[in-house]
């Protein structure tokens, strides 16, 4: 992982889909321009939902990391 200045962390491990995508988008809407959110999830479907939803709403997906079943999304608001 690159050295990002993470502003907010959202740990959604244990939450079944579609909750990680829904709660992630809700949290992203609270960010100010330039802020970065880290979302943690272990829901396998989130690899499809979270990045696509974030991009569709105009957020920048900076990085997606996987460690076993854990997925980490680093997303920035640039608007």
> Annotated active-site positions, please?
17
10 vs 46: CA distance, rounded Å: 14
**CA-wise closest residue to 39 among 53, 52, 21:** 21
How many other C-beta atoms are found inside a 10 Å radius of the C-beta of residue 19?
14
């Amino acid at each position: 992982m690159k050295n990002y200045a993470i502003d907010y962390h959202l740990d959604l491990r244990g939450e079944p889909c579609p909750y990680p995508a829904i709660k992630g988008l809700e949290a992203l809407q609270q960010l100010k321009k330039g802020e970065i959110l880290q979302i943690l999830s272990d829901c396998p479907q989130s690899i499809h939902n979270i990045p696509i939803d974030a991009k569709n709403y105009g957020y920048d997906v900076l990085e997606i990391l996987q460690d076993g079943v854990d997925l980490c999304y680093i997303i920035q608001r640039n608007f």
